[in-house]
Structure 1
């Protein structure tokens, strides 16, 4: 599946389509592939006390996305407890974290699918920051990107293998394999 799907010629629709595709078809599958290859002890491994484990990052991504998309845009009650995302230490196994991420992604994708383009310019306040709905969506996408990279890196450290997300052909073209 391409992370660059054919999108609408209308910029607002294209933005929403691409945002959904990046989250649903690239970042979440990569994180799930990492969780699938790790033992539970590796999911909660921290390189040092100042760093987060993969488990913390998955909880953090779910909490952040629910707060910024589900609560601030879709209008559901904000139940996030941010500090709990970082204080967790082994409470959930990899399979439970994977299910949480999948459920969160389904909810986010549905909220974005139902978001009318005209609402992208509306203003929201999240964590004390005032922004447009477009900026909130953009934040969630770039936030997922950064933490997906961290999760991928930690996974490679723990399993000491390449994850095989890309296959390069002799002509320089690349095939995704997640």
Structure 2
């Protein structure tokens, strides 16, 4: 069960990482740093926050509180990333930290108590807390990218108004997924 959970959660994190990257790919360099107003976050700011959170939460995941003393959370919400290269470096550095921590979990340490801001969590609770946090922010990234690109946005899933076409095509090729068959 432990290996299955870690494998499944790894797939989910990988999927949402790819969703963010597909949004980045549709944007020009300057668009990564666009802000609706001075009180809003740009994609660059969101990535900086995700990086800071990931580095803090996943460094020494099993042995130290996830809120590290060296973390400067307030700075995460400043425009400190200035180039696509910096953005992608921080993005990838955070994800590497996360995946390395996941790879360190095994049956011998799975029942370790994890602390985040001095609150006790099970390994599953700590991981799920981060999964929901990251998907929230990746959703913001996609929403901002979609606003910026307007009618030039390319859907990351099934395009609006294309569900029937997608389903018909899927079934005509015999790819059913789930429990369904052509006889269902």
Which TM-score band applies after superposition, normalised by the shorter structure?
Answer: 0.7 to 0.9
Any conservation in 2 of the 1:56–1:85 contact (CA below 8 Å)? yes
* Runs of 5+ unmatched residues, structure 1: 1-9
Q: Which residue number in structure 2 is paired with residue 162 of structure 1?
A: 153
- CA RMSD in angstroms, aligned pairs only: 2.6
For the pair 1:65 / 2:62, whether they are aligned, the reply is no
| 1:78-120 C-alpha deviation (Å, 9 max, x unpaired) | 4421111102x15331222112212321232122122113433
Shift of 1:157: 0.5
* Runs of 5+ unmatched residues, structure 2: 176-184
Q: Which residue number in structure 1 is paired with residue 43 of structure 2?
A: 54
Q: How does 1:38-49 map to 2 (within 5 A)?
A: 38-49=27-38
Distance 2:37 2:44 in 1: 14
Larger gyration radius, structure 1 or structure 2? 2
Higher strand share: 1
Q: How does 1:136-155 map to 2 (within 5 A)?
A: 136-155=126-145
| Match for residue 121 of structure 1 among 97, 111, 117 | 111
Normalised by the size of structure 1, how large is the TM-score? 0.78
Residue 163 of structure 1 aligns to a residue in which SS?
coil
